Amino acid sequence: MLNTRRLSSRELTHYYLERSEKLQPKLNGYISITQEQALETAAQVDQLCSQGQELGTLAGIPGAIKDNISTQGVPTTCASRVLAEYIPPFDATVVKKLAHSPMLGKASLDEFAMGTGNLTSAFGPVRNPWDLERVPGGSSGGSAALVAAGCAPFSLGSDTGGSIRQPASYCGVTGLKPTYGRVSRNGLIAFASSLDQIGPFAWTIEDCALVLQAICGHDPGDATSAAVDVPDFTAYLHNDVSGLRIGLPQETFSNCPHPDTAKVVLRAAGELEKAGAELSWVSMPYEKEVMAAYILVATAEASSNLARFDGVNFGYRGAGENLEEMYTSSRRFGNEVSRRLVMGTFALSQKQCGECYELGQRARQLVDSHLGNIFQQVDVLLLPTAPSPAYKLDEGQDPLTAYYNDIYTIPANLAGLPAASLPCGESEGLPIGMQLMAPKFREDLLLRVGYTWQCCSDWHLRRPQEVE
Amino acid sequence: MDYQTIIGLEIHVELLTDTKLFCHCPTGFGAKPNSQVCPTCLGLPGSLPVLRPQAVTQALRAALALDCSINEVSRFARKNYFYPDLPKGYQITQTIPLAQDGKVKVGEQEIAISRLHLEEDSGKSVHTGDSTLVDYNRSGIPLAEIVTSPCIKSPAQAREFLEALRQIMQYAQVSDCRMDQGSLRCDANISLQGEEPAGARTEIKNLNSFKAVEQALGYEIRRQSEILEQGKNVKPETMHWNEVHGVTVPMRVKEESPDYRLFPDPDLPPLVVSGEEIQACRQSLPELPQGKFERFRRKYGLPDMDIQVLTKTRGMADWFEETVQAGADPQAAANWVCSEVTRLLNREGRDISSLAFTPGDLARLIALNQQGEISGTAAKQVLAEMFLGGGDPAEIMQQLGVAQVSDADSLLTLVNSVLAENREAVSDYHGGKKRALGHLMGQAMKKSQGRANPRKLKGLLLKELNKG
């Protein structure tokens, strides 16, 4: 539509900005709305289009960016008091790649992307558009809620243990975590460097493929970015899964604490079988190891990554007679971040914890090689994204229960695999997502299965009425 | 009682590179504070380190020059600690070092190098009045940390080792090793061993010159042996060398050693160097001091004392060899370079590369002297002139009027006048006092203002005396 100039980017951007402003009091999905910049970019794109320039597929289409992704000249807060006034002097690589996409604003998140309910943001919780008393999931809660409520046609999130897929599931949208190394992390404010990956949210897997196409590729500015060829992802959007082997992790379904979730996801698997896929049960027995590896590795890396927020260069600097007092009084992290930093510092300490970190790495390798074996037998794994639908804002989960919200999503991070969450049903009016997981750099399989699913279902097209 | 001294050194040398270790910032010394910085070396959120290959090449060359074996796979790790001049809250260093097991020949002894690894430098705290400022220009500059085994037996040997190490690093053009600019820094570990097992070791910091290393170690030996004499134990402490008072003072009061919570840096893949790269680095190394020393002995048959002076720097050695190539006799060239040229340079505090005349000019001066065109004394005068403004020695000799008189007629006139003026000495000579010849020679030389060719003069003098 933009190419044929039936609609200008300015009109489109204006529409989304207006809706974003209108729903912000209800959803609190943004930390900042960048109206002026968005309209400026839109005008530029319109100008270029009118000159007949061929721009990328996403040119002129606005989107929201999670507020842990650096944007030059625009505050990037990580939803933390520590960075409340931090304005990056450079753009993240993904932001540079989306230069022709008007940025509507910076989406809220759990503080430093640590949380599963977007409850730890220093800027207040984000609400789930399907039920404003419930969480949108986390940590990319803002990114998911904004897309679900139609405030943004797409958004970017980041996924360290499920932070794209779980909120996508809670909010009834499609979310994709690419293979580790597929998308540059340069400019993403790190939580756990070996697990973090940026990815898209949209209503459909097709739109996710378009966004992925725009943001991925080898980046010399990120030593962990993979030097692999970027395929044309749209070429894999086939309504055809015949002969594809889909594995269902038995333990996940039988132990799922929310029976409706297991039922809904299994029913979706059945639909895919009708479409020609071959289903089989596989075993993924390492739940404890998955959690142990994740907690040790993620918190250890976080404790080191966040050490720089000591009040010397960033954020608030407390008073103190000496260096140590100054450091102590400068600490302004929220409870969840503090808890993880303490755990991570403990995990890395030779004196306190001996070989804890190494144990975590070994558990990680175990999970990785087990998944490797499973992918010898099947092409794709299909399982619930989260153990249950969105929980209530005031439910007050204890930390460990909260961490277990990510139990189905963490394995993909530990092994660096691509995974996606797609809407596949509901329970008492709340969306439920199914998760697809594939071997490294096989996003094509996710796209093929996801596209086929969205051709034979309409869950991704249902919109929440509560916000209207 | 006598104790055996056990000394180990930890040396940091700044590698000569165009850019910092993990970013593109320049590395020049003395730039305006915080003018050579970027998001990466400032540790800005979202910035990532990317290893620059030049630093690896330089570290490899340093390692090969120290006869180390290279680890084809090494790993970067994070050393976590808080200090304002450490912008990320951790330093990137190596746990598995780039190289190990090297050696440096010091006199007849060999000092073993246990490891050499790459790491980034921190910023620099500048204390001004009641505040402390931080200059991050130094942050991220590549360092090679070189650790010796505890095999150094005396403070003097420690100094000699450091001199040898500096010489090798300068030869290989790996580092300029300027302690005054901090491009070579040294910490020393020292313990004493009597009949009992070795006592605790102390670490001495703030050693700002090779002399300081030697003096501080000497002081520490006296201090530790006094403690042991009293039957007490030496405390394992970090000591600060106070140059003004010539004493070591304990630095940290904390009993426990710091917990650096080391773990592999998830932002950086393992460093892999191929056999070809190692070979290429080996071939890029120039002849090193030891090799040059042996070759000079073999090729030029010079005494060791001379070779030591000549091979002190590559510039000096090359200059000497060019003089020989220009036709000078090696021993004569060595004599001139080691004594007169060195003396003039030292007087002006200049380097041999700054000489106003060429090795060819010196070779010509040596030839003039050996052909009897100019006396040794006058040649020194000519050299001093050449040192000031360059120029051809023959021309300068003419200008100064110091050419040697060798023609028979002039010398005969001179001899006859001297004989006429010194009748007493002549009769002494004829009376059997052969010593009188010396007096007559002296008078003749004086009369010629030192310009008479002494050999020819003596021949003529004898001939005339014996005539009569």
Write out chain B residues lying below 8 Å of A352, CB-based.
259
Using CA atoms, how far apart are residues B215 and A44, in angstroms rounded to an integer?
A: 69
* Spatial CB neighbours of B91, under 8 Å, sequence gap ≥ 6: B78, B79, B81, B119, B120, B122
User: Is residue A301 over pLDDT 70?
Assistant: yes
User: Strand (E) positions, B32-158?
Assistant: 69-70, 73-74, 76-80, 90-94, 99-106, 109-120, 124-128, 131-135, 142-148
- Among B191, B185, B190, smallest CA distance to B210 is for B185
Q: How many CB atoms lie within 10 A of CB B399?
A: 11
- Domains of chain A, first to last: 1-468 (3.90.1300.10)
B325 and B255 housed in the same domain: no
Q: What is the pLDDT of residues A189-229, one digit of tens each?
A: 999 999 999 999 999 999 999 999 999 999 999 999 999 99
Question: Known catalytic residues of A?
Answer: 66, 139, 163
Share of chain A above pLDDT 90, in %: 86
pLDDT (tens digit per residue) in A135-193: 999 999 999 999 999 999 999 999 999 999 999 999 999 999 999 999 999 999 999 99
Taking CB atoms and an 8 Å limit, are A308 and B87 in contact across chains? Answer: yes
Q: Is there a contact between A307 and B44 if contact means CB atoms under 8 Å apart?
A: no
As a whole number, mean pLDDT of residues A375-401 equals 93
Q: pLDDT over 90 for what percent of chain B?
A: 68
Q: pLDDT category, A356, cuts 50, 70, 90?
A: confident
> Does the pLDDT of residue A312 top 80, yes or no?
no
Q: In sequence order, which residues have a C-beta less than 8 Å from that of residue A233 and are 6 or more positions away?
A: A209, A210, A212, A213, A443, A444, A447
Put the strands of the sheet holding B90-94 in their side by side order: B90-94, B76-80, B263-264
Minimum mean pLDDT range among A298-307, A326-335, B283-292, B320-329: A326-335
Query: In this structure, are B352 and B294 located in the same domain?
Result: yes
On whether both B256 and B341 belong to a single domain, the answer is no
What is the average pLDDT score of chain A? 94
| B115 inside 8 A of chain A by CB | no
Q: Which residue has the higher pLDDT, A466 or A117?
A: A117
- What is the pLDDT, as a whole number, of residue A3? 58
Predicted confidence (pLDDT) at residue B468 exceeds the cutoff of 70: no
- pLDDT of amino acid B198: 67
Q: What percent of chain B has pLDDT over 70?
A: 97
Prediction pTM value: 0.91
Same-domain status, B195 and B252: yes
Task: Give tens-digit pLDDT for B129-151.
Answer: 888 899 999 999 999 999 999 99
| Residues from chain B contacting residue A301 (CB–CB below 8 Å) | 263, 266
More confident residue, B38 or B348: B38
Please identify, among B352, B379, B400, the residue that sits at the C-terminal boundary of a domain.
B400
CA distance A218 to A222: 8
**A and B: number of Cβ contacts within 8 A:** 98
> Do B221 and B85 share a domain, yes or no?
yes
Residue A131 has pLDDT above 50, yes or no: yes
Q: How far apart are CA A300 and CA A309, in angstroms?
A: 16
A interface test, pick of B40, B41, B44, B124 with most A CB neighbours within 10 Å: B44
B360 and B330 in a common domain? yes
Q: How many residues does chain A have?
A: 468
Q: What is the mean pLDDT of residues B382-411?
A: 86
Contact B45 A83 (CB under 8 A): yes
Closest approach of chain B CAs to the CA of A391, in angstroms?
A: 31
* pLDDT over 90 at B390, yes or no: no
Q: In sequence order, what DSSP letters do the residues of B242-260 get, joined into one string?
A: ETTTTEEEE----SSPP--
Give the model confidence (pLDDT) of B36-78 as tens digits.
Answer: 999 999 999 999 999 999 999 999 999 999 999 999 999 999 9
State the Cα–Cα distance between residues B334 and B341, nearest whole angstrom: 10
**What pLDDT, on the 0 to 100 scale, is given for residue B252?**
65
Which of A86, A223, A350 is opposite residue B267, by nearest beta carbon?
A: A223
Q: For residue B127, what pLDDT is reported?
A: 87
In a 3-state reduction of DSSP, which class is residue B103? Answer: strand
Domain end: B245, B278, B311, which one? B278
**Helices marked H in B374-435 — which ranges?**
376-389, 393-400, 408-421, 423-430
The answer to whether residue B305 scores a pLDDT higher than 90 is: yes
Chain B residues in contact with A313 by the CB 8 A cut-off are 42-43, 87
Got the DSSP string for A114-145?
A: --SSS-S-TT----BTTBTTB---SSSHHHHH
DSSP A147: H
Q: What is the pLDDT, as a whole number, of residue A1? A: 45
Q: What is the pLDDT, as a whole number, of residue A377?
A: 97
- Residues B82 and B165 reside in one and the same domain: yes
Which tokens in the block code for residue A128?
């789930």
Residue A225 distance to chain B (closest CA, Å) = 10
Q: What is the pLDDT at residue B431?
A: 85
Q: Checking DSSP bridges between strand B142-148 and strand B4-14, what pairing results, if any?
A: antiparallel
Q: Residue B80: list chain A partners with CB under 8 A.
A: 303-304, 307, 348
Note the pLDDT of residue A316: 73
Tokens at B90, concatenated: 């951790």
Mean pLDDT of chain B: 92
Q: Do B297 and B433 fall into the same domain?
A: no
A36-95 per-position pLDDT tens digit: 999 999 999 999 999 988 888 899 999 999 999 999 999 999 999 999 999 999 999 999
Check whether residue B460 and residue B332 sit in a common domain.
no
pLDDT at A5 over 80: no
Cβ-based contacts of A300 with chain B (< 8 Å): 263
Residue B196 has pLDDT above 70, yes or no: no
> Backbone phi, then psi, for B210, in 5-degree steps?
-65, -35
Most confident by average pLDDT, A200-209, B187-196, B374-383, B400-409: A200-209
- Split into its structural domains, chain B has a count of 3
Burial A429-462 (b: 16+ CB within 10 A, else e): ebbbbbbbbbbbbbbbbbbbbbbbbbeebebbee
Do residues B214 and B314 share a domain? Answer: no
Please check whether residues B336 and B458 belong to one and the same domain.
no
Amino acid at A222: D
Look at residue B425 in the predicted model and tell me its pLDDT: 86
Residues B306 and B259 in one domain: no
Mind giving me the DSSP string for A65-90? EETTB-BTTB---TT-STTTT---SS
Nearest Cβ partner of A70 from B46, B82, B267?
B46
Domain span holding position B438: 408-467
Give the Cα separation of A444 and A433 in Å (integer). Answer: 19
Q: What is the CATH number of the domain that holds B454?
A: 1.10.10.410
Examine the fold and report which residue of B278, B304, B337 is the final residue of a domain before the chain moves on.
B278
Per-residue pLDDT averaged across B3-7, rounded? 93
